[in-house]
Amino acid sequence: MIKSWSDLQNQPTVARIVTNSLERNRIAHAYLLDGMKGTGKKEVSYLFAKSLLCKDLQGVNPCQSCSNCKRIDSRNHPDVHVVEPDGNSIKKQQIQFLQEEFTKTGLESKRKIYIIDHADKMTTNAANSLLKFLEEPNQETFAFLLTENVNQMLNTIISRCQPLSFRALTSEGLVAKLTAEDIPLPLAKSAASLTNSLEEAVELCRDDWFALARSLVIKLYEAIFNRPQASLLFIQEKWMPHFSDRKQLEIGLDLMLFIYKDMLYAQLSKEEQLVFVDEKELIQKLALQTTQQRVTEQLSYILQSKSRLASNVNPHLLMEQLALNLQEGY
């Protein structure tokens, strides 16, 4: 959890803009937090809310121990309102309810804060209602609009907000954060290849299913090279029971893609880019048994399978056909 603005090392521009605003007491009435999932937008909005409401501010940083800070952490502060999509969208009624709440006097202080998560999912009517709200801001009202798709928002809303752009974590940065959480490097590199979100990556690495998924990918990869006749039985008995739904199978195919990319990296003497770092010796050995052209073809087969998975193909047949395609030439 981000406890102070100095903790925001991955978003230095955001940290600088916010701390400068707090130090000079020149705080905008509305901020637009834009960036990919997992870049810390929601955490920053809550930290900002605490900096605005903390009873014992330490410079620009909240104390984290007063009643206001604790209630913001537990999401039950009466003057901090959060709006999230109701189903697939944020409705006009939700914005109207927010406006009604803000006509009342703040219960704890004069300041009132609202956070709109996935602001790009507002309906047209909801967006127009919010626009009126933004056009006539109360002196002590502060808005935080969070979005992953700023292009889906009204330009008139964007123009009335102070932009805070969040950059995605690099794969290397994500791996560093995961290993700092005592997550083994092989798991960290695999998870960082699947997502840019620290939260999602940690969840994957803490899940025994994911560790077994990696193990099954390695076993299938080795079987395709060394025991091709056994690979179809392996898919039936081990692979399909573990990758039992399409989302799980997509992860399995992604991991297959990474291990074949690793073989290409080994052929190009770029071992530092390996995802399956714990299988370096096996990958180097098998890379010597094939050509770059053949590995490129195999990567193409896996990508085709990922594409076919999006349509209504039989997952079992898809995997069997992929195994046969990957075995060609051995």
- Convert the pLDDT of each residue in 95-151 to its tens digit: 999 988 887 765 667 889 999 999 999 999 999 999 988 887 777 899 999 999 999
In the structure, how many helices (H) and strands (E) does the chain have?
A: 16, 5
Q: Both 15 and 116 in a single domain?
A: yes
Residue 171 domain flag: no
Phi/psi-derived region of residue 289, left when phi > 0, alpha when psi is between -120 and 50, beta in every other case: alpha
Q: Both 130 and 13 in a single domain?
A: yes
- Residue whose token pair is 């604790």: 70
Query: Would you list the DSSP string of 253-275?
Result: HHHHHHHHHHHHHHHTT-GGG-S
pTM: 0.67
Contact call for residues 330 and 224 (beta carbons, < 8 A): yes
Q: Both 26 and 161 in a single domain?
A: yes
Distance from C-alpha of 96 to C-alpha of 23, rounded to nearest angstrom: 33
User: Residues 8-17: what's their mean pLDDT?
Assistant: 90
Q: Both 130 and 9 in a single domain?
A: yes
**Strand 80-83 vs strand 162-165: parallel, antiparallel, or unpaired?**
unpaired
Q: Where are the beta strands (DSSP E) in 148-191?
A: 162-165
Q: Both 15 and 112 in a single domain?
A: yes
Q: Both 161 and 256 in a single domain?
A: no
- Average pLDDT over all residues of the chain: 92
Q: At 19, phi and psi to the nearest 5?
A: -65, -40
Domain residues for 47? 5-165
Contact call for residues 69 and 86 (beta carbons, < 8 A): no
